[in-house]
Amino acid sequence: MGKTILITGGMGFIGSNFIRYYHQNHPQDEIVNLDKLTYSANPENLRDLSSETRYRFIQGDILDEALFNRIGREFPFQAVVHFAAESHVDRSILGSKEFIQTNVLGTHTLLEFFKQYWHETLSGDPGFRFLHISTDEVYGTLGLEGIFTETTAFHPNSPYSASKAGADLLVRAYFETYGLPTLIVRPSNNYGPFQFPEKFIPLMITNLLENKPIPVYGRGENIRDWLYVEDACQAIDQILSKGKIGEAYNIGGESERTNIDVARQCLSFLKKGEEHLQFVTDRPGHDLRYALSNDKVKKEIGWYPAVNFSEGLSRTVQWYQDHIAWWKPLKERLLLESKGFWSRS
């Protein structure tokens, strides 16, 4: 007998990849995908699952308490994986209200509902899990030395990362105060298929495919740790089943690169010259470096990243080359917005 799992934000980049991964690897389980379908969500990400009997999509807002009361009566949820979030740093700098509403208040709405649901509907079932997807950005920035561990203090430097830090603390509080079986996953920068083309890597790839320049903040010296999305999905799945309740787990790609090096590797894959580089004014509060220790997740869960950066980037470039019909309309819509969003990097 399988279980029913709720995925919030499942039409987004990591969420849709996770649903595809989970559907393939858990053939007995049912998936309910709740997504508001904001600008970066795309129903095309999961169009091929729309007729599957073990998958159901519900359009809705995680702030909608009445919606949860309805679907809570309809489905026997044994797990929640909470991806739903506003996630673009540049957008949070230009306007933070939606980030606070979705990332903080939305997470609070979920926690309040599932606290009651777990106690009353599931009678405190110890097998229930509420897994919250966070980010490495809650830790702030590193210099050229050092690494973030799960005990590193939070020092968020953007409205986005501050909202995610607030959500993390709420999740922790609901475990400590109410005993809700929670888990937190903090990934490094994900990349791969189905990523919205305003983000750094897909923006570069799609611009080059259109023979356009690729924007790089400052001199491209900021350093990120890159995690292929399929590895992230495997880690989340394993933490959901094996993680110790109340704990947080970093999942890093162990693939640190400067932004300029990533840009040059994209140029190389697509046989373009450096005349396509366009250095743009750095954004406010731009973190220099992120790097995550995987020691805890390796020791307790047995997970480690399997796809190295060169292989993952090659797969990603090929995917965008093969799926122009997926990203072209999204790029056209972004162009019409003309708001100058460049990257998460």
22 is catalytic: no
Measured distance CA(72)–CA(114) in Å, rounded: 9
Which among 86, 136, 198, 237 is annotated as catalytic? 136
Annotated catalytic residue 228: no
Please, are residues 228 and 252 in contact by the beta-carbon 8 Å criterion? no
279 CB contacts (<8 Å, ≥6 apart)? 215, 216, 217, 218, 219, 220
Written as one string, the DSSP assignment of 167-189 is HHHHHHHHHHHH---EEEEEE-E
- Which DSSP string do the residues of 49-111 spell out, in sequence order? GTT-TTEEEEE--TT-HHHHHHHHHH--EEEEEE------HHHHHH--HHHIIIIIIIHHHHH
At 194 the three-state DSSP class reads coil
Measure the CA–CA gap between 88 and 333, rounded to whole angstroms.
Answer: 16
With 0-12 CB in 10 A as exposed, 13-18 as middle and 19+ as buried, what is 194? buried
> CA 129, CA 142: separation in Å to the nearest integer?
32
Which is catalytic among the residues 35, 137, 230, 256?
A: 137
- Reduced to 3 states (helix: H, G, I; strand: E, B; else coil), residue 199 is coil
CA distance 189 to 30: 28
What's phi and psi for 288, nearest 5 deg? -70, -50
Q: At 273, list the tokens.
A: 């010259």
Mark whether 295 is an active-site residue: no
Which entry of 117, 160, 191, 320 is annotated as an active-site residue?
160
Kindly list the catalytic residues.
136-137, 160
